[in-house]
Structure 1
Amino acid sequence: MTGKLTAAVRGQVLLPGDAAFDDARQPWNRAVDQPVDAVVEAADADDVAALVRYARAEGLTITTQPNGHGASGHTGGTILLRTGRLDTIEIDPAAGRARVGAGVASGRLQAAAAEHGLTGLPGSSPVVSVTGVALGGGLSWFGRAHGWVSDRVTAFDIVDAEGTSQHVTGGDLFWALRGGGGDYAIVTAVELALAPAPQLFGGRVLWTGEHAAVVLEAYREITATAPDELTVWFDLLHFPGGAPVVAIDATHLGGEAEARDLLAPLDRLPQPLSDSRRVMTVAELGGITGEPTDPSPGLSRGELLTTLDDTVAATLLAEPIAPLISVQLRHLGGAFAQPSDSPHGPLTEPHALSLFGVPFDPATAGAVADRQAALAAALPVSGRKPYTFLGPAESVADAFTPEVVTRLRNIKQNHDPYGVFRSNFPVRA
């Protein structure tokens, strides 16, 4: 492979035995083992097309990751394509549109859009790629107001399984890429509609863990009548070596006075340890939860809750969350529950649940997984989850209905019959 592959592309090629190979093949989540036969950092979109033509001719498979988020480890025998150098951003303020390369991180788009009083649909982390989020559907701070990230996509620039570049704005391939993963083509750029964001208020309020029950009750009170412009998350946190704490994270697409009125139940709670809520720009959203911006190991499990009644609240608080580091509830509803012509369709469950721990050693990894499974079994989960919530042991069948899985497999067969592409969660059985 060495000589042919190096001659086929202009970008950097790394193979087993090269000094930088092991670092280059790593996913963002260091708890996931990611075996690959080679790593290619494409120079540009034309280089991506050249790589696909090479792989097609040689009967090889490509798995694509800008920076490794969402990795499942299903990469054995593949060429890992890094698209980080496809990093252009174009903003059309008059049209309220953006075109971003496949390597553009959410925080960079937010910074560019903020200059024009506009916003994308960012999640909690500023370092995930916009394209990766859109391919997985995408949950956002502003999803209650504007729906899935994928609902805002207006076009994809792709390289198909023959190595031909295309601009896709409709049809079955467009439908599949808007939330069905990246198993059908390599996306080199995405165009999406931005949203107006003339005002934003947000931040985190933190209390000691003994106040978890009253903070959760305040979360339930606020979310029961929250307008779509308000998003509130509830967090149980227990970092190693520290005491348990509880937090409310919130954003409001509107003015400070209105936001504080909507969040008034928080002001009736005990004195917090800290309160970072303030007027901010959409470029500052990544600082609310303070998620790590460097690769690290972790074990995540995501679920969707069908209700958050007294029994559910009591179950969440019945025992300490350790060995988990965080248990998070995200309020959904609003535009998420509206019709969506995407593989997942409307997200009708009212709350998303995220369970996270760090596998410091094999024993801890097992304990984290057991605690996650026990909590999920004790709570009213819907049995499906967003694509971006999938863990290494799960599949597209955990995200989509059987009918949608069949449709996605047919699209895969029609557009990539020889299996040139393999996404983090392949649609084929």
Structure 2
Amino acid sequence: MRQLWNGKVDIHPAAFVRCANTQDVIHTVQWARSHGLPLSVLGGGNDFAGRALSENGIVIDCSQMRAVVIDPGARTAHVQGGANASDLIDAMQKEGLATTTGYCLTGMAGFTLGGGYGPLIGVYGLAADNLLSAQVVTADGLLRTASAKEHTDLFWGLRGGGGNFGVVVSLEYRLHPLATVLAGLLLYPLDQARAVLRHFNEFITTAPDEVTIQSGFITLPGGMPVLFLAPCYSGPLEEGQRLLSPLRTFGKPLVDQIQPTTYGAFIYTRKDGVPKGRSYFMQTQSIERLHSETIEMLIEHIEQFSSPFSAISLHNFHGAASRVALSETPFALRQDHLMVEIIAGWEPSSPDEEQRHIQWAQSLSHALAPYAFKGGYVNLLDERERDRVPQAFGSNYQRLFNLKRAYDPDDVFHSTIGHVSPMAS
């Protein structure tokens, strides 16, 4: 049960409480609070920093609470707190519906609470932008429904403010009609990377909402590092073929897998990229766009990959996500940008070897920092990067701090804003 997605995490809780329903969660929160025991919450278990576990504490394990109920007429999904993206995708797909999920099959609750980048972000916004309501067991052991009509302050905080306010036992999402997308991988050798990234950089500045492109670098099974582009187009297929044609004809790709497919099939093709049990360390920076200097930094670090399991991913934030007002949710970076996800991955090894992989990720993050927005994506911040949290929320941080003080004054749940202080005036 201690085995999370990140095999590097080695935390020893005192006990796991495997919850079957909301009442189990309520009882566990009340019992742990009455005995003064630390609490943590396990849902999908994908947080790389291991915040789902607490040393010598009680883990509220919601991983078996994975039910999904679709209302096709209302175009909504009710999702239990332990469900992952595959649970939701499988249910939505049967009804020809979709909403923003990540590129990997992560737990939906934690993914959404931090914001939630994904291939439909341009047309539908962040996962948090599609959250209609949530049921939360707060630190006082009470069940609250947060929505635009009830506990509106808590609802605001849940849409990108992190898992700071309680145990989210269910979430309600807005769904959208979407049967087919035009999507797939383009792979390029490194000697074309500079030219392709410059072309990509220009392409995304005028791309319509329906086109969102993840890009980055991976290593093929034979050990060859390559640049990848992974466009996802969610409009009429004929128009999509025309729009994506410049991407497919620029340069000479090694592989072109772009084709009409279901949204679920596109996501499932990515599921083996970061398997459970491997060791991971992650860093994040968000840049407005690519420049010649940042392109060189990326390529330099690709050529110095510390492991064939490491990767760099650039998430394309634009469209509907950029048009949400800054104050509407805690998520503060509401302008077009590329969120750079730096993933050091390796098989278990000696401490010296582990440090080499960590330093590779940190080196690239530090190199990009002068070109980046302040803060970072909260779902990817390391436990040792708490100083970046206020910067990540910007002008929304003080409101989040006040909300935390109102719903969890004893800091029972501290995945993102725990042990915080107000912004300095």
Under a length normalisation based on structure 2, what TM-score does the superposition of the two structures give? 0.88
* 1:349 positional shift: 4.6
The secondary structure found in structure 1 opposite 2:129 is helix
Correspondence for 1:330: 315
In 1, Cα distance between the equivalents of 2:288 and 2:25?
Answer: 42
Correspondence for 1:141: 119
Alignment of 1:353-392 (within 5 A): 353-360=340-347, 361=349, 362-379=351-368, 380-392=371-383
The secondary structure found in structure 1 opposite 2:195 is helix
Residue 146 of structure 2, aligned match among 168, 186, 198: 168
* 1:256 positional shift: 3.0
Mean alpha-carbon deviation: is it higher for 404-413 or for 199-208? 404-413
Correspondence for 2:203: 222
Alignment of 1:72-221 (within 5 A): 72-73=49-50, 75-126=54-105, 128-169=106-147, 170-221=151-202
Correspondence for 1:350: 337
* 1:190 positional shift: 0.5
Correspondence for 1:297: 279
Change (3 A) 1:237 1:264: same
Which runs of at least 4 in structure 1 moved beyond 6 Å after TM superposition?
A: none
Equivalent AA in structure 1 for residue 331 of structure 2: H
Mean alpha-carbon deviation: is it higher for 111-120 or for 371-380? 371-380
Equivalent AA in structure 2 for residue 208 of structure 1: P
* 1:271 positional shift: 4.1
In 2, Cα distance between the equivalents of 1:103 and 1:73?
Answer: 16
In 1, Cα distance between the equivalents of 2:139 and 2:173?
Answer: 24
* 1:163 positional shift: 1.9
**Contact 2:287 2:340 (8 Å CA) reproduced:** yes
In 2, Cα distance between the equivalents of 1:123 and 1:267?
Answer: 24
* 1:270 positional shift: 4.6
**Contact 2:4 2:46 (8 Å CA) reproduced:** yes
In 1, Cα distance between the equivalents of 2:78 and 2:281?
Answer: 33
In 2, Cα distance between the equivalents of 1:270 and 1:410?
Answer: 52
In 2, Cα distance between the equivalents of 1:342 and 1:321?
Answer: 38
* 1:222 positional shift: 2.2
Equivalent AA in structure 1 for residue 12 of structure 2: P
**CA-to-aligned-CA distance 1:195-231 (integer Å, 9 cap, x gap):** 2214311010123333222322332232122111101
* 1:393 positional shift: 2.0
In 1, Cα distance between the equivalents of 2:363 and 2:187?
Answer: 26
* 1:315 positional shift: 3.2
**Contact 2:117 2:315 (8 Å CA) reproduced:** no
In 2, Cα distance between the equivalents of 1:427 and 1:152?
Answer: 29
Change (3 A) 1:255 1:403: closer
Equivalent AA in structure 1 for residue 255 of structure 2: S
Equivalent AA in structure 2 for residue 86 of structure 1: M
Correspondence for 1:426: 418
Which sections of structure 2, spanning at least 5 residues, go unmatched? Answer: none
Equivalent AA in structure 2 for residue 122 of structure 1: T
**Contact 2:6 2:50 (8 Å CA) reproduced:** no
**Contact 1:31 1:297 (8 Å CA) reproduced:** yes
Change (3 A) 1:227 1:174: same
**Contact 1:302 1:389 (8 Å CA) reproduced:** yes
In 2, Cα distance between the equivalents of 1:353 and 1:93?
Answer: 35
Change (3 A) 1:105 1:365: same
Mean alpha-carbon deviation: is it higher for 137-146 or for 386-395? 386-395
**CA-to-aligned-CA distance 1:297-351 (integer Å, 9 cap, x gap):** 1111111012312333233224514115212222212122221511123432521
In 2, Cα distance between the equivalents of 1:227 and 1:363?
Answer: 46
Change (3 A) 1:183 1:401: closer
**Contact 2:159 2:331 (8 Å CA) reproduced:** no
**CA-to-aligned-CA distance 1:104-152 (integer Å, 9 cap, x gap):** 11122112112222102111112x1111111111112111112221111
In the alignment of these two chains, the number of paired residues is 405
Mean alpha-carbon deviation: is it higher for 86-95 or for 342-351? 342-351
**CA-to-aligned-CA distance 1:75-121 (integer Å, 9 cap, x gap):** 22321111022122111111111111011111221121122221021
Change (3 A) 1:368 1:425: farther
In 2, Cα distance between the equivalents of 1:321 and 1:231?
Answer: 28
**Contact 1:42 1:81 (8 Å CA) reproduced:** yes
**Contact 1:40 1:82 (8 Å CA) reproduced:** yes
Under a length normalisation based on structure 1, what TM-score does the superposition of the two structures give? 0.87
In 1, Cα distance between the equivalents of 2:275 and 2:359?
Answer: 27
Equivalent AA in structure 2 for residue 229 of structure 1: E
Correspondence for 2:11: 34
Correspondence for 2:228: 247
**CA-to-aligned-CA distance 1:40-71 (integer Å, 9 cap, x gap):** 11121111111111112112221101132115
The secondary structure found in structure 2 opposite 1:175 is helix
Which sections of structure 1, spanning at least 5 residues, go unmatched? Answer: 1-23
